[in-house]
Amino acid sequence: MLFKDFDPLKGKRLEILDAEGNITNPKLEPKIDKETLLKMYKTMTLGRVADIRALQYQRQGRMLTYAPNMGQEAAQVGSMAALDKKDWLSPGFRDLNLMLYRGVPLKQIYLYWYGNEWGNHFEEDMRILPINIIIGSQVAHAAGLAYASKIQKKGEVALAVIGDGGTSHGEFYEGLNFAASYDAPLVVLIQNNQYAISTPRRKATKAETLAQKAVAFGAEGIQVDGNDVLAMYVAMQASAEHARSGKGVVLVEAVTYRMGPHTTSDDPSIYRTKEEEQEWAKKDPIARFKKYLMDKGYWSEEEEAALDEANNNFVKETFEWVEANGAATLEDVFKYTYAEMTPQLTEQYETHKKFLEESEGK
């Protein structure tokens, strides 16, 4: 029903909570318990602080390249909150809040950006694939997860998450088409944050919306206000249910905005205006969600101040832990190429180890 009412070919977009934090579509307001709502809010605020701090650490020369999520917290948390714990996540590289909500410790995600593969070693029950840098590929991986779920009757949905830039990539089309052919339970979330680094969405495709690309796969598509955490929740819940019940693939386009740079190496002032950034700042997903929670009586300014302090302390401690524990070992960089080191690798490892030991001895 939702997909019919919000047909992307008719220019429809799902919105429930507007930029001022008012419910504009009460019929669709999801019934989420207080505990879950607060978990969602706390994840989003922690994600925001972790982003801001990571940028600072990078400026201080303590963190390496980092891709901040600021502005996309609702698209990520709203989606993950609507999924089941057994559902899979096939992420891109700008998906901090998805992982935090699922339960990945921040120290692990920081460890990854600190430059250590152990950051990608998610606990088995997280059901998260390693961070994917080649945009779009994760859709093909998720298609395989979904196919395996289907034929083994596991009832799991696979969620692939990409940006608008990823929709130009071959595996976006190949993966969606592959999964759709078998009605495999795949949901693809596009976080349309308006830019593929510097290239605006409008220059990357002539399609009116990204959601309408679903039509070509015989899939459902829906465009959602990606800064509206409630709309994201509703859209993802319907999408996951649709996919899980064997009805086919769903493509969700979250219209959002990357408030920060592409990565720490990027300077957005080259390709976008201050006015544009200020317009989107008014649509901040966290501000409107906070207002919603306060209107419900679930949240107060006192709690906000305490949370902010706790988040900052936690992030600071976490990063200090990563700095103290983030080094890689020689064994680490050799040991995981194969299940067992090949004779060639063993020889290379032993030779280099000996070389290092002898150099140190001198």
Partner 1 sequence: MAVLNLVQAINQAIDQKMEDDSRVVVFGEDSGYEGGVFRVTAGLQKKYGEDRVFDTPIAEAAITGSAIGMAVNGLVPVAEIQFDGFIFPGITEIITHMARYRNRSRGRYGLPIVVRFPVGGGIRALEHHSESLESLLGQIPGLKVVMPSTPYAAKGLLISAIEDPDPVIFMEPKRIYRSGKQEVPEEMYRIPLGKAKVVKEGSDVTVVAWGPFVREVEKAAELLKAQGENIDIELIDLRTINPIDEETIINSVKKTGRFVVVQEAVKTYGPGAELIALVNEKAFLHLEAQPTRVTGFDITVPLPRGEHFHFIQPERIAAEIKKVAKF
CB atoms within 10 A of CB 245: 11
Q: Is 27 helix (H, G, I), strand (E, B) or coil?
A: helix
Strand 158-163 with 220-225, pairing? unpaired
Q: Is 99 in the site for partner 1 (CB under 8 A)?
A: no
The smaller minimum CB distance to partner 1, of residues 151 and 270, is found at: 151
Closest CA to 83 of 48, 122, 126, 43: 126
Q: Taking the complex as a whole, how short is the minimal distance between the CB of residue 228 and partner 1, in angstroms? A: 30
Q: State the catalytic residue, choosing from 48, 94, 201, 258.
A: 258
- Whether 262 is catalytic is yes
The smaller minimum CB distance to partner 1, of residues 127 and 288, is found at: 127
* Continuous segment of H or E residues that includes residue 162: strand 158-163
Q: Is 41 in the site for partner 1 (CB under 8 A)?
A: no
Q: State the catalytic residue, choosing from 53, 262, 288, 292.
A: 262
| Interaction mask 54-93, partner 1, x per CB under 8 A | ----------------------------------x-x---
Q: How far apart are CA 346 and CA 288, in angstroms?
A: 56
Q: Is 301 in the site for partner 1 (CB under 8 A)?
A: no
Q: Is 108 in the site for partner 1 (CB under 8 A)?
A: no
Print burial letters for 198-208: b (CB count within 10 Å at least 16), e (below 16). Answer: eeebeeeeeee
Q: State the catalytic residue, choosing from 59, 121, 271, 336.
A: 271
Q: Is 174 in the site for partner 1 (CB under 8 A)?
A: yes
Query: 206 φ, ψ to 5°?
Result: -85, -10
Q: Is 222 helix (H, G, I), strand (E, B) or coil?
A: strand
Indicate the burial class of 362 (C-beta count within 10 angstroms; 0-12, 13-18, 19 or more). exposed
Cβ-proximal residues to 272 (8 Å cutoff; 6+ apart), any chain: 195
Binder of partner 1 out of 12, 13, 24, 120 (CB under 8 A): 120
The smaller minimum CB distance to partner 1, of residues 9 and 134, is found at: 134
* Continuous segment of H or E residues that includes residue 200: strand 199-200
| Residues 132, 90 contacting (CB under 8 angstroms) | yes
Binder of partner 1 out of 33, 124, 302, 358 (CB under 8 A): 124
The smaller minimum CB distance to partner 1, of residues 34 and 121, is found at: 121
**Whose structure tokens read 């509703």?**
234
Q: Is 149 in the site for partner 1 (CB under 8 A)?
A: yes
Q: Is 192 in the site for partner 1 (CB under 8 A)?
A: no
Q: Is 113 in the site for partner 1 (CB under 8 A)?
A: no
CB atoms within 10 A of CB 28: 17
Whole-angstrom CA distances from 181 to 65, 97, 185 are 38, 31, 11
The smaller minimum CB distance to partner 1, of residues 141 and 244, is found at: 141
Q: Taking the complex as a whole, how short is the minimal distance between the CB of residue 210 and partner 1, in angstroms? A: 19
- Whether 242 is catalytic is no
Print burial letters for 139-148: b (CB count within 10 Å at least 16), e (below 16). Answer: bbbbbbbbbe
Binder of partner 1 out of 148, 215, 216, 287 (CB under 8 A): 148
Q: How far apart are CA 350 and CA 137, in angstroms?
A: 35
Binder of partner 1 out of 144, 204, 298, 310 (CB under 8 A): 144
Q: Is 13 in the site for partner 1 (CB under 8 A)?
A: no
Binder of partner 1 out of 154, 247, 272, 291 (CB under 8 A): 154
Q: Is 141 in the site for partner 1 (CB under 8 A)?
A: yes
Q: Is 122 in the site for partner 1 (CB under 8 A)?
A: yes
**Residues at the interface with partner 1 (CB under 8 A):** 88, 90, 117-118, 120-122, 124, 129-130, 132, 134, 137, 139-152, 154, 156, 158, 170-171, 174-175, 177-179, 181-182, 332, 335-339, 342-344
Q: Which residues are catalytic?
A: 258, 262, 271
